[in-house]
Amino acid sequence: MSADFTPTERTRLRRRPQRGHFDEATVFAILDAAVVCHIGYVRDGQPVVTPTAFWREGRRLYWHGSAASGALGAQAGAPVCCTVTLHDGFLVGRSGFAHSILYRSVMAFGMPAAITDLPGKRRAMTAFLARLYPGRSAELRPIQDDELRQIVVLTMELDEVSAKVRPGPVLEKEPADYAVPCWAGTIPLATTVGALEPDARLAPGTAPGASLAAYAPGARLEDALRAGARGEPT
Amino acid sequence: MSADFTPTERTRLRRRPQRGHFDEATVFAILDAAVVCHIGYVRDGQPVVTPTAFWREGRRLYWHGSAASGALGAQAGAPVCCTVTLHDGFLVGRSGFAHSILYRSVMAFGMPAAITDLPGKRRAMTAFLARLYPGRSAELRPIQDDELRQIVVLTMELDEVSAKVRPGPVLEKEPADYAVPCWAGTIPLATTVGALEPDARLAPGTAPGASLAAYAPGARLEDALRAGARGEPT
């Protein structure tokens, strides 16, 4: 295992260390397959977990939110834990104990910093749009300064990071359990794209632009995100 | 809005209060459509966010984990935040600012307690299996006491709870933005079931039992969970 990220007391796995991964390729692939992360932070001594859209550039995470909400202000300069989870299916065993969840997850500890200058915010938000909808900025009017003033953009270095992956197959505790005469195996799950729904106020005949080409009905979201990153249709 | 859960300083929405919901029906529907939650807790002053499978019975949440991992021991009797998020799609606007995420989420604050007696653990784990695979326990050998000793089961009352829902349509900031000549609307997303994959060690001819009937290929996971709860195929 290439240790691109150095395990720490918080990120090494005490149990089943073979499920822990610290290489950039595994960590980046999980982060890039997801849209929503869960940010944990401490407010008045209490843990708070907020879901939010995020994106990655190299070894940095980014997320944003309303300046009016207060949540991002509480996260800036404070210790946070950003967790990303992809639930890939169910492992169905022959004993209750062997039932489990297929997943890929990343946990990143750090202290996010706020991007406060307007050019920096504009660059970040343009990159976020491009991550989901490559080329879309060119189809839109420019972002306005007062729109940037209404949001907080946070960025955090990926440094204390681990991935945890639970693949198949079903692991029965006792050899005899494999003989229990019931079905066992995997129920795969995937996040998939549905048919695009035009806005009620859309001018008739307006087609989705090239920036949305990756979101073909039936496509897996993570394939669409990957294709989008490469500028390809799915 | 029926205030089945009483908003508190932590759960009321300061921004866009119309997106906050405190009625049992909305909260329960979101929790019952999900399998994985994110538990935030504080360890040595640092926030930690752990993904885990959970289930609900009435006004209680349950989750479990290995007694060897230490995470659940740190959560028992401590303040936690349990957040459940369903990412339902993308809102594609005519300005960068109007792009958003369709989601349903629930945030629950509380202090989980460990279920320590074996009958209580057995009942809880049997209920968890039944929530995902109704009737499956009858197809399996009984859960063994030493299996129950290897896990920690936590339960937390649903008391300080809120739901937050972001539905469509696209909201443009300025009336003039509606005239920007690019596509706008919704890209729906759903978690869907794939074709069941038999375990490599499965005896030939063993068919999935009735307990898995809801997981029909192509079914939406939340429909399968709902059908399972009613004992119906999808």
CATH, residue B71: 2.30.110.10
Closest B-chain CA to A146: B97
Residues A224 and A157 in one domain: no
Give domain status of residue A231, yes or no: yes
Note the ipTM here: 0.96
Residues of A in contact with B14 (CB under 8 A): 68-70
- Residues B193, A215: C-beta atoms closer than 8 Å: no
Instruction: Look at residue B2 in the predicted model and tell me its pLDDT.
Output: 53
> Out of B38, B181, B194, whose CB is closest to A38?
B38
State the smallest CA–CA distance between residue A169 and chain B in angstroms: 7
Give domain status of residue B128, yes or no: yes
Give domain status of residue A35, yes or no: yes
Cβ contacts of A116 within 8 Å, gap of 6 or more? none
Chain B interface mutation, best of A8, A12, A36, A49, highest count of B Cβ atoms under 10 Å:
A49
Q: Which domain holds residue A119?
A: 17-89+101-169
Instruction: Look at residue B93 in the predicted model and tell me its pLDDT.
Output: 97
State the smallest CA–CA distance between residue B132 and chain A in angstroms: 9
Residues of B in contact with A126 (CB under 8 A): 96
List the end-to-end C-alpha distance of chain B, in Å, as a whole number.
32
Closest A-chain CA to B193: A189
Residues A27 and A107 in one domain: yes
Give domain status of residue B122, yes or no: yes
How many separate domains does chain A show? 2
State the smallest CA–CA distance between residue B58 and chain A in angstroms: 23
Give domain status of residue A9, yes or no: no
Give domain status of residue B216, yes or no: no
pLDDT tens, chain B, 234 aa long: 455 999 999 998 888 888 999 999 999 999 999 999 999 999 999 999 999 999 999 999 999 999 988 899 999 999 999 999 999 999 999 999 999 999 999 999 999 999 999 999 999 999 999 999 999 999 999 999 999 999 999 999 999 999 999 999 999 989 999 999 999 999 999 999 999 999 999 988 999 999 999 999 999 999 999 977 766 655
CB B160 within 8 A of CB B11: yes
State the smallest CA–CA distance between residue A2 and chain B in angstroms: 24
Three-class DSSP labels, chain A: CCCCCCCCCCCCCCCCHHHEECCHHHHHHHHHCCCEEEEEEEECCEEEEEEEEEEEECCEEEEEEECCCCHHHHHCCCCEEEEEEEEEEEEECCCHHHCEEEEEEEEEEECCEEECCHHHHHHHHHHHHHHHCCCHHHHCCCCCHHHHHCEEEEEEECCEEEEEEECCCCCCCCHHHHHCCCCCEEEEEEEEECCCEECCCCCCCCCCCHHHCCCCCCCEHHHHHHHHHHCCCC
Phi, psi of B139 (to 5 degrees): -90, -10
Residues A149 and A198 in one domain: no
